[in-house]
Structure 1
Amino acid sequence: MKKTFLLALMSLSIALQFTYAQGALEQKNDPFFGESCTSIMVGKKATTDGSVITSHTCDGRYRTWLSIENAQKFDKKETHKVYKGTLKTETAWDQRKVELAGEIDEAKSTFAYLNTAYPCLNEKQLAIGETTIVGPEELVNDKGMFLIEELERIALQRCTTARDAIKLIGKLIKKHGYGDWGECITIADKKEVWQLEIFGEGPDQIGGVWAAQRIPDDHVGISANISRIGKLDLKNSDYFMASDNVFEAAKRLKRWDGKKEFKFWEVYGGVEKPFKIREFFVLNHFAPSLNLDFEADELPFSVKPDKKISVYDVMAMYRETYEGTQYDMTQNLKVIKKRYNDKKEVIGQDTVIAPNAHPWPTGNTRNLSNFLKEGTIEYQRTVAVSWCSYSFVTQLRDWLPDEIGGVAWFSFDNPGQSPRIPIYAGTTELPESFNYCGQKRFRADAAIWAYRKANKLATVEWQTTREEMMADVAHFETKGLEDGAILETKIEKLIKAGQKDEARKLLNQYTKDFTGATMLRWKELENKYWGKFGLGF
């Protein structure tokens, strides 16, 4: 009996790991794979508490290790090394396939920052989200020095405001060249949030083209792998910025004749229209009164929400899979459920969503379902995806000291299932398991697998596990915000008393304790689901 049970568990474990690896491979060959990140932005007058929000899902096989890089001071003669290839490393000291792209003058001093695959938050409450917007291949120049993640890194090291970050990035691109595909970074500070879109100028031109547009303070915006910036009103510098070659390069590259109305997304983005399902769903969700049309040629760049948005609302949007709407991938996955009386006699039946139906089917699952009955699952790119490396929702609050004003609500793996961990701008140490990437292969020492195992097991019978898992997610969100308010009061008092070292220690311990609590609960869920599904229930 014990041998049979252990064999069942081993078989399920192998199947789950194969499902994950196979799913990632299928996504790479899927035409939707380029839709690999989502960033939602909210201005300070659109949030319930006056915070500025930017966010990011890193969807794909990118590194999941993260660290805090300390502030530093440098000699005038020192240079800053710029690298390519850091997105796929397994640890901070893994140098496989990492190459030196060049060097630039080092700053006299730098700020501490949270070093994720796409660096995201510094100690001065400057935060950056990211989404790849691809664009035409003819614009790419891989000889340019900078990939987007390195531009983010330098901006966080050297800047305190979104405007300064945009200007610095523009100067670096012009001087040293942009070597990446089309990218959007959503840059926020304590006052405002901007969307910056960048493309190359072609394989024979060192430089790049870019445009930036500010999200109005009372609006919400989204970038989801499509260029969205349209008309450029460069006379209105409070809301628009662009590279000085933005129009000239378009003519030289024969992407614009100088007569037709100039729309950045149309000229450089290489798309038919500047939105797909995610942009439509998010904007329509927050501003239903606008009656946005999915069949429209263009949507507003940003919208004023019908009611103010809380950080809870943004977290919830990152769990979105469109269930209950016409875009629900589980809506046709139904079974008959019989109803019984006390005597175990059938007294009726209902048609219900199948217990094993979940909104993250692999390509093989979709193909099988559609082979059995055409049109059973129509693929939709959901906001939450199972191949996510990590995600964060960052709040920036100008009424608090920087150490606690900025907080990244961070999660590993599928944002539709995982809990969020608060990492404050003043944090200087992270848990040991954060040092290891688990996205390339299974590693027991990598933090992501503390959540992924339970998450994957939950999808075996998602219709019965979801309620419990979502209750735990909600518990930790509430705990983080409520306990965080108490912590922030303590930290503020310590900072005012000049006890910054004690404040940092308390912040570090809080993140470690919170991480430990979530890992313990997800381990309990994992064990529970192994016991349930390993026996064939």
Structure 2
Amino acid sequence: MRAFAFLATSAHACTLIAVGSKATIDGSAMVAHTNDGMPSPNDLRLVRVPAMNHSNTSQRSIYNYLVRRGNPRLVTAERGPGYMPRNGTDQAFSIPTGYIPQVPTTYAYWDHDFGMQNEVQLSIGESTCAAKTVGYPVDVPNGRNLFDIDELSKIALERCDTAVCAVKTMGALAEEFGFYGEYSKDPLVPAYAGSAEALIIADKYQNVWIFHILTGAHNSGAIWAAQRLGDDQFTIVPNTFVIRTLNLTDSANYLASPNVSAHAYAQGWASPEEPFDFTAAYGYAAPNSSKPLYGGRRMWRAFSIVAPSVSLDPDVGFHVRVPTYPLSIKPDVAISPEVIMNIFSDYYQNTTYDLAKGVAAGPFHDPVRYTSRANHLRGNWERSMSLARTTHSFVLQTRPNMADAIGGVAWYAQGVPADSVYFPISCGQTTLPTVFNQAIRTQFDTESTWWAFQFTTNWAHLRYDLIHHEIQVERIKYTTLARELQQSTEASCRSRNLSTSDCVALVESAYNEFIVTTTKAWWQFAWRLVSSFNAGYEFFNESATGGRSIGYPADWANQTEYVLYPQHYHPPAQVAAEENRTAAVDPDTGVLSIVVGGSSAQVEAFSLSSGFLLGFVCGTMSLSLVVAAVALVSRVRQEVASPKAPASVEEQGEPAQGDNKVVAATDSAIV
């Protein structure tokens, strides 16, 4: 289990979601993705690759991105100015690992680690999966494969305007030139936990296809399958294959490589006598690993949010051999981009698995769980949608009733989904403001959009329950403004009867300005958080009552050493006796109600002997008797001192001997 936990958290263990057009509020198809990063400093840029024309003899370079997991991800003159060496640097050009024939024209697209969305609305999201095969790139010993999913997704966006074209193009190239997984670096250490991939592709014709791919026989070639998502369906791919049976006679809904079942039969992973189950045949989970819950809990959670009427077992997990959750589900209500944004922000709030509860959440109910390196321990954290290591996330929409350049829109957030604003970016715009792409992971930058959100996310860990609430107020405000901006600019295009190019110019200007102004406003908000929450206080203003202590909550303090203090207090015996007497008379005046004698009195803290307790009780009773005696003497004295009428000798008589004894005894007692 420890081995899997390491691989899963080191990989792009991303969450992938899609919604059919008849399940959304506006008839758009949607694909969404979280890019859940790793220890290497990712290239945080969203790069525009322009449309291009190529000669008949052109070759398309293929790169191994495993070599450049850092920043920049690629340096080349072949994909526009975004991937040229940065100004003032001597960045070396990336060396291709191979070439394929180029096509005459290629579409423009937005590119991150994977291809995201092209100018004709084709949209792609990704999730790394585990499989029973593993392949290696051609530039490592014994490597036989040219393509990883990064390059396949980019080529699909360069060449296709439909999801089916993308599936067939990627599948054919992988079959011919070979496919290797995201973490297939060392043949001596097969990375089964990250050796396969899943993509979801949506197009402007409202087709949404799920695509699975893994390496073929003998660590080379490829095996793949694809299934169309129903128009009224919602699906999630949480780092596991989800396609089951394949009806390859129905090419409108199922596609696959010719060898899709043969290798599984040859290896004994499937039987020709039974219906072929792609996930059961090729999906992988190490014995006794956390894999069933690593993906299964996210699957249950997403389904439970969009379709609470469907009761699914949250504890059964997702298993490759035995189907436990459906491939997709029909939502109870129509889905908006904001619903998916909220799913990506989820950490199992108000469920049994709520990461804001329990000892690990600390005193301030912080849901963040960092990767554990306690290799001698067996265990794991719940894997939530929103993670501290998420570098960016997006929701992509394709809308058939609009021009391509406006119809395709990416709602793109930098940093942790739960703490970030999703900005609209048109598939037709060609630029982004500098602040959006200038972040470098190892250089703190108070002008960068990414660093603005990353900073407030990390500041929230000082006092999560209070600061996260402040972040949510701002996040909702700017997300609402972003949606209003999109609607108003598109309405302006219609009312002014603008051409597509003029509308794109209007949208690009408005969206970029919104990114810049929001980034500045978010930094101002960040500095307000710094001045408001620090040193264990919250400050509101400069008045005498302009601050308050925000110490630890009682429910958490009650689980700590706080309630045991002082565990190591051993005063001298005389001091202990005095404190005991003081505490017995008035507990509020002592350090504790019972102050334990120190080591000099041979009494350990919080370990009271029976003799001590007996003495304490007897002492308390004696003190009560003394107080009563004092009161009695005072009364007698008052009676003696009071003047009385002279009595006759007969009435007065002789003084009783007992009275003198009482007075004497009493006087003696109070001397």
TM range, normalised to the smaller chain?
Answer: 0.7 to 0.9
Question: Judging changes above 3 Å, is the alpha-carbon distance between structure 1 residues 499 and 127 closer, same or farther for their aligned structure 2 residues?
Answer: closer
SS in structure 2 opposite 1:58? strand
Given candidates 3, 13, 18, the residue that maps to 1:41 is 18
CA distance in 2, matches of 1:153, 1:35: 17
Deviation digits for residues 486-517 of structure 1, max 9, x if unmatched? Answer: 111233567x65461x3333222222211112
Q: How does 1:44-59 map to 2 (within 5 A)?
A: 44-59=21-36
Question: Judging changes above 3 Å, is the alpha-carbon distance between structure 1 residues 51 and 116 closer, same or farther for their aligned structure 2 residues?
Answer: same
CA distance in 1, matches of 2:486, 2:235: 26
Given candidates 337, 345, 350, the residue that maps to 1:319 is 345
Question: Judging changes above 3 Å, is the alpha-carbon distance between structure 1 residues 459 and 29 closer, same or farther for their aligned structure 2 residues?
Answer: same
CA distance in 1, matches of 2:61, 2:11: 29
CA distance in 1, matches of 2:534, 2:149: 44
Residue 288 (structure 1) aligns with: 308
Q: 1:27: how far off? A: 11
The answer as to whether partners of 2:406 and 2:504 remain within 8 angstroms in 1 is no
Residue 260 (structure 2) aligns with: 246
The answer as to whether partners of 2:9 and 2:371 remain within 8 angstroms in 1 is no
Q: 1:467: how far off? A: 2.1
Q: How does 1:332-481 map to 2 (within 5 A)?
A: 332-333=358-359, 356-363=364-371, 379-439=381-441, 442=444, 446-481=448-483
CA distance in 2, matches of 1:536, 1:234: 63
Residue 173 (structure 1) aligns with: 174
Q: How does 1:54-453 map to 2 (within 5 A)?
A: 54-61=31-38, 62-85=42-65, 87-90=69-72, 92-93=83-84, 98-136=94-132, 138=134, 142-180=143-181, 181-190=195-204, 191-205=206-220, 207-271=221-285, 275-294=295-314, 295=316, 297=322, 298-333=324-359, 356-363=364-371, 379-439=381-441, 442=444, 446-453=448-455
One-letter identity of the residue aligned with 2:33? H
CA distance in 2, matches of 1:63, 1:451: 16
The answer as to whether partners of 1:79 and 1:104 remain within 8 angstroms in 2 is yes
CA distance in 2, matches of 1:136, 1:97: 35
The answer as to whether partners of 2:136 and 2:219 remain within 8 angstroms in 1 is no
CA distance in 2, matches of 1:90, 1:444: 21
Q: 1:316: how far off? A: 0.9
Unpaired segments of 5 or more residues in structure 2? 74-82, 86-90, 138-142, 182-194, 286-290, 538-671
Decide which structure has the larger Cα Rg and report it: 2
SS in structure 2 opposite 1:120? strand
CA distance in 2, matches of 1:505, 1:382: 39
The answer as to whether partners of 2:30 and 2:202 remain within 8 angstroms in 1 is yes
Q: 1:460: how far off? A: 1.4
The answer as to whether partners of 1:139 and 1:202 remain within 8 angstroms in 2 is no
SS in structure 2 opposite 1:80? strand
Question: Judging changes above 3 Å, is the alpha-carbon distance between structure 1 residues 132 and 439 closer, same or farther for their aligned structure 2 residues?
Answer: farther
One-letter identity of the residue aligned with 1:194? W
One-letter identity of the residue aligned with 1:516? V
The answer as to whether partners of 2:347 and 2:367 remain within 8 angstroms in 1 is yes
Deviation digits for residues 15-34 of structure 1, max 9, x if unmatched? Answer: xxxxxxxxxxx998476545
Comparing 95-104 with 60-69, greater Cα deviation is found at: 95-104
Number of residue pairs the alignment of both structures matches: 483
Deviation digits for residues 509-535 of structure 1, max 9, x if unmatched? Answer: 222211112212321222122223444
Q: How does 1:484-499 map to 2 (within 5 A)?
A: 484-492=486-494, 497-498=498-499
SS in structure 1 opposite 2:514? helix
CA RMSD across the alignment:
2.7
SS in structure 1 opposite 2:240? coil
CA distance in 2, matches of 1:77, 1:158: 17
The answer as to whether partners of 2:17 and 2:32 remain within 8 angstroms in 1 is yes
The answer as to whether partners of 2:216 and 2:222 remain within 8 angstroms in 1 is yes
Given candidates 477, 481, 484, the residue that maps to 1:482 is 484
CA distance in 2, matches of 1:491, 1:449: 33
The answer as to whether partners of 1:438 and 1:447 remain within 8 angstroms in 2 is no
The answer as to whether partners of 1:410 and 1:421 remain within 8 angstroms in 2 is yes
Question: Judging changes above 3 Å, is the alpha-carbon distance between structure 1 residues 32 and 90 closer, same or farther for their aligned structure 2 residues?
Answer: closer
The answer as to whether partners of 1:38 and 1:56 remain within 8 angstroms in 2 is yes
Question: Judging changes above 3 Å, is the alpha-carbon distance between structure 1 residues 300 and 96 closer, same or farther for their aligned structure 2 residues?
Answer: farther
Higher strand share: 1
Comparing 306-315 with 427-436, greater Cα deviation is found at: 427-436
Q: 1:483: how far off? A: 1.8
Residue 540 (structure 2) aligns with: none
Deviation digits for residues 155-179 of structure 1, max 9, x if unmatched? Answer: 1011001011101111111221112
Deviation digits for residues 222-251 of structure 1, max 9, x if unmatched? Answer: 111011111111112222111111011222
CA distance in 2, matches of 1:411, 1:388: 10
Deviation digits for residues 360-406 of structure 1, max 9, x if unmatched? Answer: 13246x98xxx9xx99xx71100000101111001111111111111
The answer as to whether partners of 1:87 and 1:117 remain within 8 angstroms in 2 is no
Question: Judging changes above 3 Å, is the alpha-carbon distance between structure 1 residues 240 and 87 closer, same or farther for their aligned structure 2 residues?
Answer: farther
The answer as to whether partners of 2:447 and 2:519 remain within 8 angstroms in 1 is no
Q: TM-score, normalised by structure 2?
A: 0.67
One-letter identity of the residue aligned with 2:64? K
SS in structure 1 opposite 2:170? helix
Q: Are 1:511 and 2:491 matched, yes or no?
A: no
The answer as to whether partners of 1:73 and 1:108 remain within 8 angstroms in 2 is yes
SS in structure 1 opposite 2:63? strand
CA distance in 1, matches of 2:352, 2:517: 37
Question: Judging changes above 3 Å, is the alpha-carbon distance between structure 1 residues 139 and 79 closer, same or farther for their aligned structure 2 residues?
Answer: closer
Question: Judging changes above 3 Å, is the alpha-carbon distance between structure 1 residues 265 and 273 closer, same or farther for their aligned structure 2 residues?
Answer: farther
Percent of residue pairs identical: 29
Question: Judging changes above 3 Å, is the alpha-carbon distance between structure 1 residues 222 and 111 closer, same or farther for their aligned structure 2 residues?
Answer: same
Question: Judging changes above 3 Å, is the alpha-carbon distance between structure 1 residues 152 and 493 closer, same or farther for their aligned structure 2 residues?
Answer: farther
The answer as to whether partners of 1:51 and 1:397 remain within 8 angstroms in 2 is yes
CA distance in 2, matches of 1:492, 1:232: 44
The answer as to whether partners of 2:390 and 2:415 remain within 8 angstroms in 1 is yes
CA distance in 1, matches of 2:241, 2:167: 17
SS in structure 2 opposite 1:234? coil
One-letter identity of the residue aligned with 2:327? F
Q: TM-score, normalised by structure 1?
A: 0.83
Question: Judging changes above 3 Å, is the alpha-carbon distance between structure 1 residues 454 and 410 closer, same or farther for their aligned structure 2 residues?
Answer: same
The answer as to whether partners of 1:360 and 1:385 remain within 8 angstroms in 2 is yes
Deviation digits for residues 293-330 of structure 1, max 9, x if unmatched? Answer: 23164211000111111111111111111121101122
The answer as to whether partners of 2:405 and 2:426 remain within 8 angstroms in 1 is yes
The answer as to whether partners of 2:403 and 2:500 remain within 8 angstroms in 1 is no
CA distance in 2, matches of 1:107, 1:443: 40
CA distance in 2, matches of 1:175, 1:430: 37
CA distance in 2, matches of 1:270, 1:486: 48
CA distance in 2, matches of 1:266, 1:473: 41
